[in-house]
Amino acid sequence: MRAWTGIIAALIVLAVAAGCSDSRPGVAAIPEGERTAAPAFTVPGLDGGTRSLADRGSKPMLINFWASWCGPCVKEMPAIAEFARRNPQVSVVGLAVNDDVGASRKFAREHDIRFPLGIDRQAEVLSSYGGSGLPVTVLVGADGKVITTFIGGLTTDDLDDMARLAEAG
């Protein structure tokens, strides 16, 4: 019984230590041989028209799933907007998930978002990319395959990693 008590105590200490850590997993690429084709999508654009995976042309695409009511989404958006301005070689699209169209438009104006935005009303596109919560960001290579998926709020360092991955293919 003492042995089990010691083991349980050690596991609790490890769990608490892991939960209190400031370390982040960072952005990791899916090995080339394991990458799959990005699911195609077409959604309404917030400015009218549509947004789709095909909009990327022959460039890599960063797809950011967000919502105006999502705290981590709000926090990461200035870095994503700056990423889009600094990296014209990467097509950036933001898909507002389960969000009110008016609130999404207001959010885009308030945050000076200049990259294309669409609305994923029922989270169908998010689900097709394996996401369930927000924010989620997916980097699709020029070859149309998913290079990486990042769950959670991105930092400038994370986005710099994404730019390097996009360049490397």
Q: Rounded mean pLDDT of 105-122?
A: 95
Is position 11 within any domain? no
Residue 134's domain is classified under what CATH number? Answer: 3.40.30.10
Query: Do 143 and 169 form a contact (C-beta atoms < 8 A)?
Result: yes
CB-based contacts of 36: which residues, under 8 Å, 6+ apart? 145, 146
Task: Judge whether 10 lies within some domain.
Answer: no
Structure confidence at residue 26 (pLDDT): 78
The secondary element (H helix, E strand) that includes residue 156 is: helix 156-168
Dig out the tokens for 126 from the structure.
């998010």
pLDDT given for residue 23 in this prediction: 44
Helices 156-168 & 71-86 angle (0-180, nearest 10): 50
| Domain assignment present for 162 | yes
- Residue 101 inside a domain? The answer is yes
Q: How confident is the model at residue 11 (pLDDT cuts 50, 70, 90)?
A: very low
**More confident call, 10 vs 89:** 89
Give the range of the structural domain holding residue 144, as residue numbers without chain letter. 26-168
SS (H, E, C) 68-130: CCCHHHHHHHHHHHHHHHHCCCCEEEEEEECCCHHHHHHHHHHCCCCCCEEEECCCHHHHHCC
pTM of the model: 0.85
For 44-86, the pLDDT digits (tens) are: 999 999 999 999 999 999 999 999 999 999 999 999 999 999 9
From the centroid of its chain, how far is CA 139?
8
Instruction: Write out the H or E segment, with its range, that includes residue 43.
Output: strand 42-44
Question: With bands split at pLDDT 50, 70 and 90, how would you rate the model's confidence at 25?
Answer: low
Structure tokens that stand for 8 in this block: 């349980």
Residue 36 forms part of a structural domain: yes
The mean of the pLDDT values for the chain is 88
User: Residue 133: its pLDDT value, please?
Assistant: 94
**Number of separate domains in the chain:** 1
- Backbone φ and ψ for 133, nearest 5 degrees, come out as -115, 180
Share of the chain above pLDDT 70, in %: 85
In a domain, 154, yes or no: yes
- Does residue 150 fall inside a structural domain? yes
